[in-house]
Amino acid sequence: MQLLDLVFHLEKYLPQFIQMYGSWIYVLFFGVLFVETGLVIFPFLPGDSILFLGGSLAALNNGGINIWFLIIISIVGAVLGDFVNFEIGKRFGHHLETSKKWQRFIKKEYLDRAQKFFQKYGKLSIFFGRFMPIIRTMVPFVAGTAQMHYPHFAVYNLIGGIVWVLFMTLLGYFFGQHPFVQQHFSLIIIAIIIISVLPAIIMWLKGHFSKNN
């Protein structure tokens, strides 16, 4: 019962959590975004959801989150994450792709999808990929493995990180000010999280059934 109360009354408990732990909440946002974009084995983390959540919390009365500091720390986490992922792909990409040990963590279907996306859009894939779950994590790795020209990657990484964070965070901020969103905050956040992880679930199901067949 306590868990259900927590889930369905996030707008009540999250501000209390923020007030208790203060600036550590920014560390949490930085960490999730850095890990999702920087470590190729974590494509399932809900980057879109946490940005929208942060913006929505900043809009709530007494939410305790400074929207502009949140945006800055999130941009830093997202951009640094892509740089790290690119370097991992550049230095270890071919080894990780062919290693049976790492194939358990780096899904081949995710890599294939990201490689096709990279081949289709080239440099722009770094920007467009920011707005697509799974692709967002895999494309920097693929770009590094393909030895993409570093200055080109850096420019599109920076622009993509800024635009993605601004869009998702401010979207959450403006929606969070609407009375309907404030009244149904928990259900909306749960729906966003489900939508964010749905592509990963679908890809896993496709892989699972294809192996069985």
Q: What is the per-residue pLDDT across 75-113, written as a single tens digit (0 to 9) for each?
A: 999 999 999 999 999 998 888 877 777 777 787 888 888
Helices (H), the chain: 2-7, 10-21, 24-38, 47-59, 67-98, 100-103, 108-121, 124-128, 135-145, 150-176, 179-183, 185-212
Tokens of 109: 């279907």
* pLDDT single digits (tens) 38-68: 988 888 777 887 888 888 888 875 557 888 9
Write down the pTM of the prediction.
Answer: 0.80
> Structural domain tally of the chain?
1
Which residue range forms the structural domain that includes residue 74? 2-212
Q: Are 110 and 138 in contact (CB under 8 A)?
A: yes
70 Cβ contact partners less than 8 Å away, ≥ 6 residues apart: 26, 29, 54, 55, 58, 169
Measured at the CA of 105, the angle between CA 99 and CA 108, to 5 degrees, comes to 70
Greatest mean pLDDT among 7-16, 130-139, 151-160, 200-209 lies in 151-160
pLDDT of 127 > 80? The answer is yes
pLDDT of 189 > 70? The answer is no
Tokens of 19: 């007030």
Q: Which of 132, 196, 188, 119 is nearest to 160 (CA)?
A: 132
In percent, the amount of the chain with pLDDT more than 90 equals 37
Residues composing the chain: 213
